[in-house]
Amino acid sequence: MWWLILILAVLGIAFIAQLSHLKHKAGIIALIVFLAFMGITFVLVARANSVDLGSSSGFFSGIKLYFSWIGHALGNLKVLTGNAVRMEWFSNSTG
């Protein structure tokens, strides 16, 4: 069922991208890539945690788990960025 929703969403966005009056195709392509990323990672997180996506309670449990996963990933990215900023990139040696 979720594959059908994902396929319909991608096809709908692809149809919109084909309209000639839209000049921002790069934005549409970025949106398609973003939605594909969200769909694929949602399925991978749900499979890794044995979430039953067939039932509504399992689906909503999967959504909660997915957004928790996203939050932890963003937290890790924040720590990584902070550590990169604090690094000494150039030595102060005098020669």
Q: What is the 3-state secondary structure (H, E, C) of the chain?
A: CHHHHHHHHHHHHHHHHHCCCCCCHHHHHHHHHHHHHHHHHHHHHHHHCCCCCCCHHHHHHHHHHHHHHHHHHHHHHHHHHHHHHHCCCCCCCCC
Mean pLDDT rounded to a whole number for the chain: 81
Q: Considering the domain boundaries, does residue 74 fall inside one?
A: yes
What domain range is 34 assigned to? 2-84
Question: In this structure, is residue 89 part of a structural domain?
Answer: no
Is there a domain that residue 62 lies in? yes
Answer whether residue 23 is part of any domain: yes
Quickly state the pLDDT bin for 79 (edges 50, 70, 90).
Answer: very high
| Residue 91 domain-assigned (yes or no) | no
Q: 88 or 42: whose pLDDT is higher? A: 42
For residues 46 and 14, the model is more confident at 46
Domain assignment of residue 95, yes or no: no
Count of structural domains within the chain:
1
> Which of 47, 38, 40 is CA-nearest to residue 70?
38
Residue 76 in any domain: the answer is: yes
What are the tens digits of pLDDT across the range 4-41? 777 778 887 777 766 655 556 667 777 888 888 888 88
Q: What is the pLDDT of residue 2?
A: 65
Q: What are phi and psi of 51, to 5 degrees?
A: -90, 130
